[in-house]
């Protein structure tokens, strides 16, 4: 059993980490860290629990510690980070001197020697760990997962990118309010409304997707060679990001062949039968009115991305379009870090 801890344990993504790690066959939560306001308190007393599922009994009596290496227990092997970006940029490298850090924070994602990984898409990027440790003199290391909307998009593009040549991708997102945290979007701002801007979200999707689908050339990542344009919007859905995706290929392809590669797509987590891996990372629906966040966000425990309305796009040559739904705090956040950690535990530790 691997002892693990959660940084930012009282927030929404931190709570999702705890829910996913409770009763995990390989990981046991032994440490929870949060702000100085929570430090020294029992987790149950320090936390306003936001998830529908009850707080696990196993964590209620854990004493929350300060978010610093000095306060962290020495018997922890992996730390899961859901820290705010600015704080993560300062604290995660300090922890990585001695601990394995599986981070959902954006601070280190695009740093040259830090692997940005979706296990089904680019597990070979974990080779950067050795370079990172050598560069920095660390005994531990940091591995990051991408932005929530990026993960859902990239999982659906990977089988297409491997089978065909993509020229351009356009994506328009309709993102759930949980992606901004419990206090992130006031109810008066989102009820009866749509917010057509999410700070830095479009830039993250455009840069991270091309990075993830690129190739690791020694110590450098060579980005995928197509263009991507994203437009990101916040909508009044609690959980589950929806994305409308438009793909232009270099030549005309049969829509049945496109569907076939998506349906049959599997990656290393499926080969290794990792605990959190979905049986099928991409599920394709044939109904005209699917996917929908409320009906499809929890597909395969929230770890699969559901695709529907896969069809030709008559407005552009050699093009097709589809709609996807992915659970933004499970597959798009905590679940992504947990799956990364399962792969690290299997292949590296």
Residues labelled catalytic: 148, 241
Task: Answer yes or no: are the C-beta atoms of 299 and 279 closer than 8 Å.
Answer: no
Q: Which two tokens stand for residue 13?
A: 């993504």
Q: How far is residue 283's CA from residue 95's CA, in Å, rounded to a whole number?
A: 37
For residue 166, which of 214, 118, 112 has the smallest C-alpha distance?
214
Q: How far is residue 218's CA from residue 216's CA, in Å, rounded to a whole number?
A: 6
Q: Which two tokens stand for residue 273?
A: 């039968």
Q: Which two tokens stand for residue 338?
A: 């947990």
For residue 242, which of 148, 316, 106 has the smallest C-alpha distance?
148
Q: Find the Cα–Cα–Cα–Cα dihedral 145, 146, 152, 158, rounded to 10°.
A: -90
Residue 44 backbone phi and psi in degrees, to 5: -60, -35
């Amino acid at each position: 059993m691997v002892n693990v801890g959660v940084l930012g344990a009282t927030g929404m993504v931190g709570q999702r980490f705890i829910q996913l790690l409770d009763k995990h066959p390989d990981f046991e939560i032994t440490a929870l860290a949060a702000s100085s306001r929570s430090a020294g308190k029992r987790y149950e007393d320090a936390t306003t629990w936001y998830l529908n599922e009850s707080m696990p009994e196993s964590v209620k009596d854990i004493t929350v510690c300060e978010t610093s290496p000095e306060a962290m227990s020495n018997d922890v092997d992996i730390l899961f980070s859901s820290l705010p970006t600015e704080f993560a940029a300062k604290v995660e490298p300090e922890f990585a001197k001695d601990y394995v850090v599986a981070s959902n924070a954006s601070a280190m994602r695009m740093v040259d020697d830090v692997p940005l990984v979706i296990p089904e898409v680019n597990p070979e990027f974990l080779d950067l760990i050795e370079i990172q440790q050598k560069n920095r003199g660390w005994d531990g290391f940091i591995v990051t997962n991408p932005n929530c909307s990026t993960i859902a998009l990239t999982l659906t593009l990977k089988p297409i990118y491997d089978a065909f040549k993509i020229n351009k991708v356009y994506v328009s997102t309709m993102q759930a309010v949980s992606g901004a945290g419990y206090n992130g979007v006031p109810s008066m701002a989102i009820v009866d409304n749509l917010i057509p801007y999410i700070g830095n979200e479009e830039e993250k999707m455009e840069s991270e997707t091309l990075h993830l689908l690129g190739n690791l050339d020694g110590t450098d990542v060579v980005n995928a060679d197509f263009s991507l344009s994203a437009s990101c919007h916040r909508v009044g859905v609690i959980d589950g990001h929806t994305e409308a995706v438009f793909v232009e290929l270099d030549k005309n392809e049969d829509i049945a062949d496109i569907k076939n590669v998506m349906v049959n797509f599997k990656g290393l987590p499926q080969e290794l039968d990792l605990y959190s891996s979905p049986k099928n990372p991409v599920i394709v629906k044939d109904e005209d009115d699917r996917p929908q966040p409320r009906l499809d966000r929890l597909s395969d425990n929230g770890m699969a991305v559901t695709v529907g309305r896969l069809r030709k796009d008559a407005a552009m040559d050699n093009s097709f379009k589809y709609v996807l739904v992915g659970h933004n705090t499970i597959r798009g956040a905590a679940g992504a870090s947990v799956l990364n950690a399962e792969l690290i535990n299997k292949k590296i530790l």
